[in-house]
Copies of this chain bind each other. A is one copy, B any other.
Amino acid sequence: MKKEILERFDNTYPNRDYTIEIVNPEFTSVCPITGLPDFGSITVRYVPDKSCVELKSLKYYFFEFRNAGIFYENITNRILDDLVEVLQPRSMTVITEWKARGGITETVSVNYSAIA
């Protein structure tokens, strides 16, 4: 299970809203139709509540997608869902930017807020 790889540590400053942005420009997965690799960059931006994500475990979590066949739109929503479930942040944004295929690039961005 991918999301069980994710580790967290206690937020030392829970009384204050602040923002953590993590960028991984070395993400790769596989196109579910052609089986050929896709390459992209993933940005995770969040306001932590009780927990922060441990960077090394996040790296291993991203590594789990290396040979998975999954669409751009689904991978972006899936990463948001996993990180929200594990971290329970006050808010979070996930952005994936994909290298050109056939001359066309795609970017997908999705937001979550604990205040519905």
Query: Which residue of chain B has its CB nearest to the CB of A73?
Result: B52
Q: Which residue of the partner chain, among B23, B26, B74, B104, contacts A55 with CB atoms under 8 Å?
A: B104
User: How many copies are assembled?
Assistant: 10
A103 near B99 (CB under 8 angstroms)? yes
Measured in the bound complex, the distance between the Cα atoms of B71 and A18 in whole Å is 15
Chain B residues contacting A104 (CB-CB under 8 Å) are 22-24, 26, 55, 58-59
Interface set, chain A 86-109, CB cutoff 8 A to B: 99-109
Measured in the bound complex, the distance between the Cα atoms of B110 and A109 in whole Å is 20
- Of the listed residues A55, A56, A58, the one surrounded by the most CB atoms of chain B closer than 10 A to its CB is A55
Q: Which residue of the partner chain, among B17, B63, B73, contacts A37 with CB atoms under 8 Å?
A: B63
B101 near A22 (CB under 8 angstroms)? no
A102 near B21 (CB under 8 angstroms)? no
Q: Which residues does A use to contact B, with CB under 8 Å? A: 9, 11-13, 16-26, 28, 36-37, 39, 48, 52, 55-56, 58-59, 63, 66-67, 71-74, 76-77, 99-111
